[in-house]
Amino acid sequence: MSKINRSRTDLHELIRNLDARCRARIAGLPDEARPPDSWAAVLFRVRKQFFLTPLEQIAEVLELPWEITRVPGTKPWLLGVANNRGTLLPIYDFASLIEGAPPRVGRRVQESGPDRRREAVRGRERVLVVRQEDLPCGLVVSEAVGMRYIKNGDRIDEITDGLGPSRAYVDASYLLDGAPLPVIRLGRMMADPLFNAALA
- Residues contacting 90, CB < 8 A, separation 6+: 78, 80, 81, 135, 137, 138, 198
Instruction: Please give the Cα distance from 183 to 170 (Å, whole number).
Output: 6
Q: How far is CA 64 from the centre of its chain?
A: 13
SS3 80: strand
Q: Are residues 137 and 100 in the same domain?
A: yes
pLDDT in tens, 165-183: 888 889 899 999 889 999 9
pTM: 0.72
Instruction: Give the model's pLDDT for residue 27.
Output: 43
- Residues contacting 174, CB < 8 A, separation 6+: 41, 52, 150, 151, 154, 155, 156, 180, 181, 183
Q: In terms of residue numbers, what domain contains 9?
A: 1-30
Q: Are residues 1 and 46 in the same domain?
A: no
Instruction: Give the model's pLDDT for residue 19.
Output: 62
Instruction: Give the model's pLDDT for residue 87.
Output: 85
Q: Give the count of domains, the chain.
A: 2
Cβ atoms within 10 Å of 74's Cβ, excluding its own: 15
Ranges of residues in the chain whose predicted pLDDT is under 70: 1-34, 100-122, 195-200
Q: What is the CATH number of the domain that holds 182?
A: 2.40.50.180
